[in-house]
A and B are shown apart, each in its own frame.
Chain A
Amino acid sequence: MRILGISGSVRRESFNTRLLDAAAEVLPDDVELVRWNGLKAVPPFDEDDEAGPAPAAVAELRELLANADAVLFATPEYNGSVPGQLKNALDWASRPHATNPLRNLPVAVMGASPGGFGTVWAQADLRRILSRIGARVLDAELAVGNAASSFDEDGPLADDAVREQLEEIVAALSDSARAREAVAA
Chain B
Amino acid sequence: MNTLTAAQEVLETGTWKLDAVHSRIGFAVDYLAGTFHGGFAPFDATLDVDENGAATLAGNARVDSIQVADENLGAHLLSPEFFDAEQAPEITFVSSPFEPAGTDVVVDGTLTIKGASLPVQLAGTIGGPVVDPYGRQRINLQLAAGIDRSSFGIDWNTPLPSGEPALAQDVTLTAELALIKE
Contacts and interface: CB of A to CB of B under 8 A. Distances in A.
B79 A134 contact: yes
A135 B86 CA distance: 11
A51 interface: no
Contact of B75 (A98, A135, A179): A98
A183 interface: yes
A97 B156 CA distance: 18
A134 B87 contact: no
Contacts of A179: 87
B72 interface: yes
Contact of A98 (B74, B86, B87): B74
B76 interface: yes
A183 B86 CA distance: 8
Contacts of A99: 75
A104 B86 contact: yes
Interface in A121-147: 131-132, 134-137
B74 A134 contact: no
Contacts of A135: 79-80
A132 B79 CA distance: 8
Contact of A97 (B72, B81, B87): B72
B80 A137 contact: yes
Nearest to A102: B79
A163 interface: no
Interface in A1-49: none
Given A183-B86, A183-B87, A104 B80 contact: yes
Contacts of B156: 131
A97 B86 contact: no
A103 B74 contact: no
B71 interface: yes
A180 interface: yes
B76 to A, nearest CB: 7
Nearest to B86: A104
Contacts of B71: 98
A182 to B, nearest CB: 10
The interface centre, meaning the residue of B74, B78, B79 with most chain A CB atoms within 10 A of its CB, is B79
Contacts of B72: 96-98
Nearest to A98: B75
A97 B75 contact: yes
Contacts of B87: 179-180, 183
A97 B76 contact: yes
Contacts of A131: 79-81, 156
A101 to B, nearest CB: 13
Contacts of A180: 86-87
Contacts of B86: 104, 136, 180, 183
B159 to A, nearest CB: 12
Contacts of A136: 80, 84, 86
26 contacts: A96-B72, A97-B75, A97-B76, A98-B72, A98-B74, A98-B75, A99-B75, A103-B75, A103-B79, A104-B79, A104-B86, A131-B80, A131-B156, A132-B76, A132-B81, A134-B76, A134-B78, A134-B79, A134-B80, A134-B81, A135-B79, A135-B80, A136-B84, A136-B86, A137-B80, A180-B86
Interface of B: 71-72, 74-76, 78-81, 84, 86-87, 156
Interface of A: 96-99, 103-104, 131-132, 134-137, 179-180, 183
